[in-house]
Structure 1
Amino acid sequence: MPKIVHCIRHGQSTFNAHFAETGEDPLHFDAPLTELGRRQVQERARELRRYPYELVITSPLTRAIQTTLGLFGDHPAAPPIHVECLHREHLESSCDVGRAPSLLRQEFPHLAFDHLDEIWWHNEGEADPRGFVYEPGHVFEGRVEQFRRWLQGRPERMIAVVGHGTFFSRLTGRYLGNCEVAVLELGD
């Protein structure tokens, strides 16, 4: 029996809204959801209520956590939520720079962040003029494969993963719009 994974991209973030309008990085580090993003989450939550998820995995980036809580905060299956940094976004823009677990814990006290390093996003190399380190493609591709193997090793058969567009495009072969869902089947 295959493992079913619903890959769900986060709702619209402040970075997404600004970039769509101007084509420029607004330097919104760890960008939160916009009001439109919150509405997208509410609309998608109704559809996802019918699935008996055994586990929800969220990226530690704020827009993903906000999406996760909006989608699954009152889900009938009450699946546990696990924060995992392996499927964070490819660090190319300001919004992909995260925040320390201590700060995340203050904003989201009911989630566990203790297993994350203080800097869990890509930070190896020389900072660019914008103040952060671009993640090389080969490092990103390796992380995508590492996450695929991690998912395959999980015991659950029905999993929701809330994450990011570029990451999911590499994992599923399809680029998702905000709050769009792609189904990934993983064999044993």
Structure 2
Amino acid sequence: MSIHLIRHGQSAFNAVFTGAGDPMIFDAGLTPLGHEQATAARIHVAELGIREVICSPLTRALQTARLIFPTDHIHVVAETREHLGHSCDVGRAPAALQAVFPDISFSHLPDIWWHQGELNAVGVPVEPADVFEARMVLLASALRARDARPLAVVCHGHVIDALTGTHPDNCGIVELRN
């Protein structure tokens, strides 16, 4: 059975990022368009018969998951986070996330669950490509080992691209092949 990778809806960072410079929007949430995209995706996802939902701990993914799966239990898995290269990919401590998403458990996450390392020119830690790629190999293996299928993973464009070779639009759904 299937593993469906779902990219988050449009974030505040996505809406303004031009590639010319980091707009310094940390852990960006969804825009109104992102909310619309996630709500529209709910109709399609309902047809997939999802039995388990895994989600990145970044706010835009959590908001997307909550809009698509409003009553389902969401399992937060830090390894599904985005490749850290911009401010929007820096997360928040579990206590801060718990205050915003009280029905989702973050107790298993360390205080800093995102990549820590060398800072770029604007002070954002950058995850080296080889570190990200190794994380994606482990993530793919862990996802394939899960019993509950069909499985939904609400995550990020670079994660989906690394796992499938496809970079979907916001709220795009790509199947992870075995």
Fold conserved between structures, TM > 0.5: yes
Alpha-carbon RMSD: 1.2
Deviation at 1:52, TM superposition (A): 1.4
Task: Quote the residue 1:170 is aligned against.
Answer: 162
Q: Show CA shifts across 1:101-130 (max 9, x none).
A: 01000000100001111100000x332231
Match for residue 43 of structure 1 among 37, 40, 43: 40
Structure 1: 4+ residue segments shifted above 3 A: none
Q: Distance in 1 between matches of 2:137 and 2:6?
A: 18
How many Å apart are 1:185 and its aligned residue? 2.7
Q: Give the Cα–Cα distance (whole angstroms) in 2 for the partners of residues 62 and 16 of structure 1.
A: 13
The residue number in structure 2 matching 1:58 is 55
1:96 aligns with 2:94: no
Distance 2:59 2:36 in 1: 16
Answer with 22-31 or 6-15: which moved more: 22-31
Question: Do the aligned partners of 1:54 and 1:156 also contact (CA within 8 Å) in 2?
Answer: yes
After superposition, give the CA deviation of every residue in 1:74-123 in whole Å (9 maximum; x if it has no partner): 4xxx4x31000101000011000000001000000100001111100000
Between the aligned partners of 2:94 and 2:42, the Cα distance in structure 1 is 26
Aligned length: 178
Alignment of 1:24-173 (within 5 A): 24-74=21-71, 78=72, 80-123=73-116, 125-173=117-165
Secondary structure, counterpart of 1:86 in structure 2: helix
Give the Cα separation in 1 of the matches to 2:148 and 2:118: 39
TM-score by length of 2: 0.96
Distance, in Å, in 1 between the alignment partners of 2:49 and 2:122 is: 43
Q: Percent identity?
A: 45
Tell me which residue corresponds to 1:9: 7
The answer to whether the 8 A contact 1:57-1:162 is kept is: yes
TM-score normalised over the length of structure 1: 0.91
Task: Tell me the SS of whatever aligns to 1:146.
Answer: helix
Counterpart contact for 1:31–1:63, Cα < 8 Å: yes
Q: CA deviation at 1:184?
A: 1.5
CA drift of 1:157 comes to 2.1
Contact 1:7–1:168 (CA<8 Å) still a contact in 2? Answer: yes
Answer with 84-93 or 22-31: which moved more.
22-31
Once structures 1 and 2 are overlaid, which stretch shifts more, 138-147 or 152-161? 152-161
Q: CA offsets, 1:4-62, max 9 Å, x none?
A: 11110000000000014x74311000000000100111111111112211100000000
Structure 2, unaligned runs of 5 or more: none
Rounded Cα–Cα distance in structure 1 between residues aligned with 2:87 and 2:37? 23
Aligned to 2:174, the other structure's residue is in SS state strand
